[in-house]
Amino acid sequence: MRNFKIRPHHGLCIRFFEGKGYSSDFTRNMVEIIVMLNREDPVIQLHTDTDIICRSCPGNINERCKSFTKVLSYDNAVLDFCRLKNGQQIKWSEFSRAVHTKIIMKNKRESICSDCQWNEICAKKLPEL
């Protein structure tokens, strides 16, 4: 079975994504990944480093995020709230549900990533979710 590495905080980015991103390549790749995850519901591997979303990001410099420390803190916070571990394998739908119920529905999202440049989008969308 194929599995896909996903940074834990990308579970949040995916829930709030509305077609904006760091570049057109990034956005195209993000859309393709979201469609694939929702269609195939694969087993993913939680991975606190560059992943299948980062691969098209201009902030990915030689497989290292230029905001490494900041995004690692987001990843670790998502893992803590969801009671999951780095390296753990889990069905995409199960992970996505954990992000929704244990972070978004409990209004914990801003405690994780309110200093992200995309925060305004997520804050605006929250009431719709």
- Is 65 an interacting residue with respect to ligand SF4 (CB under 6 A)? yes
Ramachandran area for residue 63 (φ above 0: left; ψ -120 to 50: alpha; else beta): left
Q: Which is nearer to ligand SF4, 38 or 67 (CB)?
A: 67
- Min dist CB 22 to ligand SF4, Å, is 6
> At CB < 8 A and 24+ separation, what contacts does 78-82 make?
78/8, 78/9, 78/11, 78/12, 78/103, 78/112, 79/8, 79/46, 79/48, 81/106, 81/108, 81/112, 82/8
Shortest approach of ligand SF4 to residue 75 CB, angstroms? 8
State the minimum distance, in angstroms, from the CB of residue 34 to ligand SF4: 13
Stretch of 36-44, 64-72, 84-92, 93-101 lying at the interface with ligand SF4 (CB under 6 A): 64-72
Q: Rounded distance, CA 81 to CA 109, Å?
A: 10
Q: Residue 92 Cβ, how far from ligand SF4 at the closest point, in Å?
A: 17
Which residues are at the interface with ligand SF4 (CB under 6 A)? Answer: 7, 50, 53-54, 57, 59-60, 65, 67, 71
